[in-house]
Structure 1
Amino acid sequence: MTLIEADITDLTHDGRGVAHISGKAVFVAGALAGERVRLRDVRKHRHYDEAAVEEVLRVSPDRVAPRCKHFGVCGGCALQHLDPAAQIAAKQRLLLENFERIGKVQPSAILPALTDSPWGYRRKARLSAKFVEKKGRMLVGFRETNGRYVADIERCEVLLPAVGERIAAITAMLESLEGKREIPQIEIAAGDNLVALVFRHLQPLSDADTQALTRFGQANDLAIFLQPGGIDSVAPLWPAGAQLNFELPAYDVTLDFRPLDFIQVNGGMNRRMIDHALALLDPQPSDRVLDLFCGLGNFTLPLARRAAQVVGVEGEAGLVQRARDNATKNGIANATFHSADLAADQRATAWAKADYELVLLDPPRSGADAVLDYLPRKSTRRVVYVSCHPASLARDAGILVDKHGFKLTSAGVMDMFPHTAHVESIALFER
């Protein structure tokens, strides 16, 4: 094994340190900017190499002891060794670099980072499960950092405690099942009223196994769902008719959702993000608002409490139906919803032809470039863009500025995923 000393100059988008050796970039797992490390080669590529830290010779003042004993093996977190404030600063730098390099724009002002508790925050997650014949035991956890194996973990510090503190108990319960080899994954979905575990199973489970799952749910106050097939096959095992929801008290809104529906992973940050987005968008009682990629109404229904009319558009038909149901449940009559593929040209639709004073965008990682080909219209004075991928936001910022004549007024990061390399951000564009 060859050991090499190197200085770490930066962090990659996935949280690894960057060194340059003989003119070639080397991405170093476990290293932080400003450190000098002794590293070992892991894998060579044509344009870059990958390595891992063997020893830290000069320690960054931002290095902290990871709280989780599985850090470095489990791939669920990438930055537990970096102080949370430094994590935010690194994500803010990455956002601004993307604006400059990709979008050729810069915000007039940088918004203060939006943060919440960095531990026990994840209310949505997918854990892998595998019975390892050679070990004669079950593994439950995120994938390892190399992605090939299931990490052998006992607890998780970023999952909400109702699940994170029970990983070992879930593992032991699965190990006792006759059908343990037929359960490859567990989805975690938590509302304000219930915490649910969804067990995917490849073959029908025996009565004894379903009874064991039910007893586990009852003993631990966890709702148990089974998924024998696709998304539509998910059904509650216990309690019968279990329904998840979360509340947005500031807007007198309660949102029902199904366990596999998309909701924001971090419940506390979601509330703060909605407040933040509405403050930037500043809807007036006479405004018409277009909410694109609206999901089950996370922004749409709060907006409807402030504006004259809100139109939500979403590509997944099931989420659109849930959004309509949520509007009805909350007594909101000034929000309408449309199911449409926003990666396709929708300019001929009535909703796309209408005029809106305000637009909110919350697209997936791929961004919103397709819809920005024809929206927003001239009547739109303000756009708020919520992003989960800084590169696509930067590209789309360039479109809004260069093609549509907007100014990038302000932008900043939101720490939706502490201790990971995910960068969630928000930007305000004005005429």
Structure 2
Amino acid sequence: MPAGIIESLDHEARGITRLEGKTVFVEGGLPGERVEYSCYRKKPTYEIARIDRVVTPSASRVEPKCPHFGVCGGCSMQHLEASAQVAAKQRLLEANLWHLGRLVAGQIYAPIHGAPWGYRFRARLSARLVPKKGGMLIGFHERKSSYVADMRQCPNLPPHVSDLLVPLRELVAALSISTAMPQIEVAVGETMTALVLRILEPINAADEGMLRDFADRHGIVFYLQPKGPASVYRFYPLDERRLSYLLPDYGIEHAFSPTEFTQVNHAINRVLVRRAMTLLDPQPGERIVNMFCGLGNFTLPIARSGARVVGIEGSPELVRRAAENAAANGLADRVEYSVANLFETTPESLAALGRFDKMLIDPPREGAAELVKAIGEDGPPRIVYVSCSPATLARDAAILAHQKGYRLSGAGVVNMFPNTSHVESIALFEKG
């Protein structure tokens, strides 16, 4: 049985050690630990292993809070103390910037982090009837599997949502479409919690009665989704409550539908927006563009500063929602939205938008390679980049720094997803 010292963590929170010149990824290993392990997958240049015994444990190793940790695929870092998780993510960000982009940030920003539990205001749960496991299962998938984890609680979810997992199992099992309802999407707002049921067959009158009774007893709102996301409709109750989240620093309320993208961690999002505004420093009279603007998470705070903002997004539905939010917050006169596929940006299409004083980019995991390649010599002197992938951030940062004349003035992590290996970050690029 081989043994080794864990040097660091990879992007999936696996420990990294070496064996006869090969990299070994050890699931569950933590930096500084001496572990014994067994390899279950061998490739020419690396191996993947699981721990058999922790010989010398890390001082940062803790007992996972969730009894499902290790089986459920929702988390990978519960065995690492919360502040050590943040430090590991910061090291991963810096390693990606250097190894993939050959860049060192001029300043490492203090990490943005908060409560490690009860933060996940959005979730997509699977539902599956498995008689040999006791009946209806509702939860995340098991690690590296399509099986649904046998979950009865989740400390990452708000307590009132975690408490619904067992009652939901009983409800769905009783429905006439219990084998034709594969997914439940959770969205928590300021004044309501929505559950979107993906239904592959119509529900009957008895089902309707059970859903109404469940909603009344647990204070939630049911939506039904018979087809794609556009088919979602509110089922019960049809009251005046709506989904929204607040940015109190800017006097902004963002309304959203339960299937529209919003950040899962509302508390951390407030701090992230504040950090982004500090770095961007929007001023009255400036013309600023927000690329991949979504429903206006950053656009409206920029507009509140007095700047004029152009928000660009690939989803027509999100652009419509963003325009509605701008009007509802009294900012429609400072914001202009348009739909464009930013993954196909060209120098010509970017130049046609006119000159901008500053730019904020908030792309999905794929990053913004074509967009940053299209920036010309008259590009904005300041760019704030919010990223959900250190690898694509490093790739795009290399383009900005080595091809477009920007310097990486600063970068830091945002722990939007505690207890997981997901790394969000923010970076500032400047010219001159």
TM-score, structure 2 as length reference: 0.96
Deviations 1:240-276 (A, max 9, x none): 2663111112111111111110001100011110001
**Residue among 37, 53, 56 paired with 1:55:** 53
Contact map agreement 1:110 1:411 (CA 8 A) in 2: yes
What amino acid sits opposite 1:28 in the alignment? V
- Aligned partner of 1:303 in structure 2 is 302
> Residues 98 and 417 from structure 1, CA distance in 2 versus in 1: closer, same or farther, beyond 3 angstroms?
same
Q: Are the counterparts in 1 of residues 23 and 47 from structure 2 also a CA contact under 8 Å?
A: yes
Name the CA shift for 1:196/1:59 in 2 (closer, same or farther; >3 Å).
Answer: same
Q: Any conservation in 2 of the 1:289–1:307 contact (CA below 8 Å)?
A: no
Question: Is the 2:359–2:382 contact (alpha carbons within 8 Å) kept by the matching residues of 1?
Answer: yes
SS state at 1:89 partner:
helix
Describe the shift of the 1:162–1:352 C-alpha distance in structure 2 as closer, same or farther (beyond 3 A).
Answer: farther
Cα deviation for residue 418 of structure 1 reads 0.5
- Alignment partner, residue 96 of structure 1: 94
Equivalent pair of 2:346/2:370 in contact (CA under 8 Å): no
| CA shift for structure 1 position 346 | 4.8
The answer to whether the Cα contact below 8 Å between 2:359 and 2:384 also exists between their aligned partners in 1 is: yes
Would the aligned equivalents of 2:350 and 2:375 in 1 still touch at CA under 8 Å?
Answer: no
Secondary structure of the residue aligned to 1:187 is strand
Partner of 2:414: 414
- The answer to whether residue 211 in structure 2 is matched with residue 219 in structure 1 is no
Alpha-carbon distance in structure 2 between the residues aligned to 1:37 and 1:83: 18
TM-score, structure 1 as length reference: 0.96
Aligned twin of 1:289? 288
Quote the Cα distance in structure 1 between the aligned partners of 2:351 and 2:20.
56
Q: Any conservation in 1 of the 2:350–2:374 contact (CA below 8 Å)?
A: no
Moved more, 4-13 or 409-418: 4-13
Cα deviation, residue 284, structure 1? 1.0
Q: Which residue of 2 aligns with 1:402?
A: 402
- Map of 1:86-235 to 2, 5 A cutoff? 86-235=84-233
Contact 2:201–2:226 under 8 Å retained in 1: yes
Give ranges in structure 2 of 5+ residues lacking alignment: none
RMSD (Å) for aligned C-alpha atoms: 1.5
Q: Any idea what SS the aligned residue of 1:182 has?
A: coil
Moved more, 201-210 or 294-303: 201-210
Aligned 8 A contact 2:347 2:376 in 1: no
Correspondence for 1:325? 324
| Stretch deviating more after TM superposition (181-190 or 26-35) | 26-35
Judged with a 3 Å threshold, the aligned counterparts in structure 2 of structure 1 residues 350 and 71 are, in CA distance, closer, same or farther, namely closer
Distance in 1 between residues matched to 2:418 and 2:238, nearest whole Å = 34
The farther-off stretch of 129-138 and 145-154 is: 129-138
Report the Cα distance in structure 2 between the residues aligned to 1:334 and 1:46, rounded to whole angstroms. 57
Distance between the aligned counterparts of 1:347 and 1:340, measured in 2? Answer: 14
Match status 1:430 vs 2:421? no
Hey, what does 2:252 align to over in structure 1?
Answer: 253
Secondary structure (helix, strand or coil) at the match of 2:360 reads: strand
Q: Which amino acid aligns with 2:222?
A: I
Distance 1:82 1:400, change over 3 A: same
Q: CA deviation at 1:136?
A: 4.7
How many Å apart are 1:67 and its aligned residue? 0.7
Contact 1:355/1:377, CA 8 A, preserved across alignment: no
CA shift at 1:38, angstroms?
A: 2.2
Write the distance in 1 (CA, Å) between the matches of 2:368 and 2:96: 16
Q: In the alignment, what sits opposite 1:389?
A: 389
- How many residues matched? 429
Moved more, 263-272 or 396-405: 396-405
Q: Deviations over 1:91-137 (max 9, x none)?
A: 11111111111111111110000111110000111111100133450
Report the equivalent of 1:85. 83
Stretch of structure 1 that moved more, 136-145 or 345-354: 345-354
Secondary structure, counterpart of 2:169 in structure 1: helix
Question: Which residue identity is paired with 2:415?
Answer: D
Corresponding position of 2:2: 4
> In 2, are the aligned partners of 1:227 and 1:235 still within 8 Å (CA)?
yes
Question: Structure 2 CA distance, aligned partners of 1:108 and 1:96?
Answer: 11
